[in-house]
Amino acid sequence: MSDKDPQYVETAKKVAYNVSNRVLPMAKMPATLLEAYEGLFAELIADKAGHFQASWDALPASAQKLFPVAEFHGFYIANAWMQLSRVAQEIADSAETEEEMNDKQYDGVFGRLAEASLKESLRKLKKARTDRALLNSIKQVMAE
């Protein structure tokens, strides 16, 4: 799955699941969506391009101290999943046929969404350094 140790992956997966479960009940998710979620998790936890790790490393120490990196990685993955789910639903709602969907340009949508999600997650983390309510809110959605 990735070069991350099993404990890191388990922690990130637990947090990602907890956050996602607040919005989309994971136990009631259709098998195809759950499979898509697992694929997204595997891709983003692997971080082959190194975007997540580089972004984490660039954070001020005061932001890094708020959460262990594995927990924040899970938070980011859940954020990406929710954004991707919203966009997929909008695409499905707007396209009348599969042919119309194929005709539209959706190439690169996943990459752009993952990047936007990472930026949003980093912004929230930085803001949480001085916004106690935001920090508590993030902690609450990460918890079981």
Tens digits of pLDDT across the chain (144 residues): 457 899 999 999 999 999 988 877 878 878 887 888 888 899 999 999 999 999 999 999 999 999 999 999 999 999 998 888 777 777 666 655 555 555 555 556 777 888 999 999 999 999 999 999 999 999 999 987
What's the rounded Cα separation, in Å, for the pair 9 and 122?
A: 19
CATH code linked to domain 6-142? 1.10.3440.10
Q: Quote the pLDDT of residue 104.
A: 54
**What's the one-letter identity of residue 142?**
M
Map residue 99 onto helix, strand or coil.
helix
Give the pLDDT confidence score for residue 97 in this predicted structure: 57
**Can you tell me the distance from the alpha carbon of 139 to that of 75, in angstroms, rounded to the nearest whole number?**
10
The per-residue pLDDT for 1 is: 45
- What is the pLDDT, as a whole number, of residue 85? 79
Q: pTM for the complete prediction?
A: 0.85
76 CB-near residues (< 8 Å, 6+ apart): 44, 52, 117, 118, 121
